Structure 1
Amino acid sequence: MNLKNTFNLGVKELRGLWRDPVMLALIVYAFSLSVWTTANSSPDALSNAAIAIVDEDQSHLSTRISSAFYPPYFVSPRMITAAEMDDRMDQGLDTFAVNIPPDFERDVLGGRSPAIQLNVDATRMSQAFTGGGYIQQIVSAEVSEFVSGHRSETELPVDLALRARYNPSLDPKWFGAISSVIQSITMLSLVLTGSALIREKEHGTVEHLLVMPVTATEIMVSKIWSMGLVVLLGSSFSLLVVVQALMDVPVQGSVALFLAGTALMIFAMTGLGIFLATIAGSMPQFALLLMLALLPLQVLSGAMTPRESMPEIIQNLMLAAPNTHFIILSQGILFRGAGFDVVWPQFLALALIGFVLFQLALVRFRAFLR
């Protein structure tokens, strides 16, 4: 393989990418605005939910419950009457309405089991589903603490203390930002190399390459190093500038070690991208193949759902996917501060999978050129 030819062909790919404004916009968006919006949307967490309280008891306990709802999970509760409750929810002013009945404190202290009514606007699906559990936990905690101060109860001899080493406040933005960077690396590694080959085919420049003194290996390696360099630079910018500097999200481990694993991940995914591009006949067909490839890779790799909760056969099958090992590697380094002595099996797996995908793509690419 002639390194000079490979370098020059790679520079040609970079120039072609520079003249593609749509692809450039996708790269910028994936490593900046997409990371920001994904981290801050956090649909699994409750944020500034509108809540109203009907306090028909006017007791010390009901006041404690009313004051337990505060930002950032809820806005400051609005005290309303029972007659206003239904109208306000119909107008969409409140997502939750808590109705504390008369004599609530007296019934609690008397050992009876009074009920608090919770009305939920189910049209706000993400907040309604999550907020009901939040409110139940808050009310239960306040009642338990109030009762323990008025009645002597037997305490358990063991106390469970939970401490989170990374992200002590369990802010979902921390996990969402880094997960979004990982997903962007996976997506763009496939898209850029595949679209580069499809672009050659659609512009008719493949025939020009065939009459030049270059080999199939040189053409394929040039696309891998050039597009891989773009993804590596984009992921470095996203992690160092967007995630750490702008969003103030810390990482526990070595960024350099993570980028080394990213380089292996890019090598594996760019090979897969070229393989898919040789199967597709046009850009729309390539986009359809991307949907079939990306969805299982993203959903079943452990990025969205822990692998331990999946069927064992799925866990074993997904060990053949490169981003499964990349997710384990990234979470170990960035979340738990793992060193190379801990994540070397994932580095080895990525290198082996990347080599296999490269060979498969090269065989298919040679057939494609013929």
Structure 2
Amino acid sequence: MSRLANIYRLGVKELWSLARDPMMMGLIVYAFTAMVYISATAMPEALHHAPISIADEDTSPLSARIASSFQRPSFMPPVMISAADVDAGLDAGDYTFAIIIPPDFQRDVLAGLRPALQLNVDATRMSQAFTGSGYVQQTINGEVTEFLQRYRGVPAAPVTLTLRARFNPNLTPAWFGALMEIINLVTMLSIVLTGAALIRERERGTIEHLLVMPVKPAEIMLSKVWSMALVVLVATTLSLLFIVQGLLHVPIKGSILLFLTGAVLHLFATTSMGIFMATLARTMPQFGLLLILVLLPLQILSGGMTPRESMPEFVQNIMQAAPTTHFISASRAILYRGAGLGVVWQPFVLLLAIGTVFYSVALARFRKTISLMT
């Protein structure tokens, strides 16, 4: 009981120390509010208000139909220009897409001659160029097909393909961006807060005060782990309730409580990582540089940005030892697909096992560091 009391009191001390640090408090508030909102509303792969111009040299009902098919919010209203002004407009950056409809386009379509349209894309606007070019082609093909069916009375095909997107029927980018940002912030801030807590003790000289007290290294480490994990957990819960669900109106399919349970297991591993990294770094600038080397692979190679199946096999095998891999898998299943414990129990067990290993390694390193100081 005395050890639990020591862990509790030392953890409360960490909370008071964090509360008196305006920079860290500002980082927490900014991350779980502004960063979540920005990530949800500024997804680069989303086609939104893309400028487009059309050089209509046919001036037929079909060309007018194509021009009217490009509407908000994906595209700005098309600007009608001449073919001679296309290159100048693209060079000036006035348009991302420029379509040239040749003369007699409708006549050739009805005659079955398969005329060609010209689509010019400003590829310097990379995100809009890749997403929008396919959308432009799909839109034009759809309008031409529907025009031919109405003009010729062509019967519909006996088999049609109906596309249904599960979990996010409208493919709204904010649904993915907000939740993935929270998942990434849980990893980042748990490492930052625990590492900064230990380095702050060393820089202020209070670590020597702890060493003369009747407390053990495990108690000191556990106090930092539970206190910083609690801060991240509370911030995550408030962000889910008030920013994601309240401000952004993102529906969460599964149980928030189950997600927070997985977050606790994940925090057990990442806070231990933060302690371990703080024992390697002597100052906060060194810790920041070390954080970059660790955090970027954790976020990029864990399946949060790109599917893990598209990565080399040896990368997939290595990242099995990373807690973020299993946390992202479980979080997506819970928040996106409404999965229950029967689906995510295996990632939870792996998180607990990985966290135990990380905690043991960090504790051994922490004890060695303290012994060298004494």
- Structure 1 position 310, deviation (Å): 1.7
* Offset of residue 151 of structure 1: 4.3
Q: Deviations over 1:70-122 (max 9, x none)?
A: 11110111222334434433443322221111100111111212221222233
Shift of 1:295: 1.1
**Aligned counterpart, 2:348:** 347
Q: Match of 1:125?
A: 126
Contact 2:49–2:72 (8 Å) recurs in 1? yes
RMSD: 1.6
Matched to 1:166, the amino acid is F
1:185 aligns with 2:198: no
Offset, 1:157 = 4.1
1:24-56 deviation per Cα after TM superposition (whole angstroms, max 9, x unaligned): 111111111001111111111110011111111
TM-score where L is the length of structure 2: 0.95
The CA distance in 2 between the partners of 1:236 and 1:102, in whole Å, is: 60
1:130 to partner: Cα distance: 2.2
Give the Cα–Cα distance (whole angstroms) in 1 for the partners of residues 210 and 70 of structure 2.
67
Name the residue aligned to 2:237.
236
Q: How far apart, CA to CA, are the structure 2 residues paired with 1:89 and 1:342? A: 50
Distance 1:215 1:25 in 2: 32
Q: Which residue of 2 aligns with 1:362?
A: 363
- Give the Cα–Cα distance (whole angstroms) in 2 for the partners of residues 343 and 41 of structure 1: 30
Is 1:29 paired with 2:62?
no
Q: Does 1:55 align with 2:56?
A: yes
TM-score by length of 1: 0.96
Q: Which runs of 5+ in 2 are unaligned?
A: none
SS of equivalent residue, structure 2 residue 334: helix
Distance 1:357 1:212 in 2: 26
Q: Distance in 2 between matches of 1:163 and 1:328?
A: 23
Q: How does 1:208-247 map to 2 (within 5 A)?
A: 208-247=209-248
Distance (whole Å) between structure 2 residues aligned to residue 233 and residue 295 of structure 1? 24
SS of the residue 2:54 aligns to: strand
Equivalent AA in structure 1 for residue 203 of structure 2: E
Alignment of 1:119-268 (within 5 A): 119-151=120-152, 156-268=157-269
Is the partner of 2:116 in helix, strand or coil?
coil
How far apart, CA to CA, are the structure 2 residues paired with 1:77 and 1:99?
A: 12
Residue 328, structure 1, aligned to residue 306, structure 2: no
Q: CA deviation at 1:358?
A: 0.7
Tell me how far apart the structure 2 counterparts of residues 87 and 322 of structure 1 sit (CA, whole Å): 51
Deviation at 1:280, TM superposition (A): 1.2
The equivalent of 1:273 in structure 2 is: 274
**152-161 or 356-365: bigger deviation:** 152-161
The alpha-carbon deviation at position 125 of structure 1 amounts to: 2.7
Give, in whole Å, the separation in 2 of the partners of 1:306 and 1:165: 17
1:105 aligns with 2:106: yes
Matches within 5 A, 1:34-113: 34-113=35-114
Shift of 1:155: 5.8
Matched residues, percent identical?
A: 59
Q: Point out where structure 1 has 5 or more consecutive residues left out of the alignment.
A: none
Equivalent residue of 2:266, what SS? Answer: helix
1:152 shift after superposition = 6.4
Distance (whole Å) between structure 2 residues aligned to residue 313 and residue 166 of structure 1: 31
Amino acid paired to 1:137:
Q
**Matches of 1:325 and 1:91 in 2, distance apart?**
47
Preserved CA contact (<8 Å) 2:56 2:80: yes
Q: Indicate conservation of the 8 Å contact 2:148/2:154, yes or no.
A: no
Post-superposition shift, 1:153? Answer: 5.9
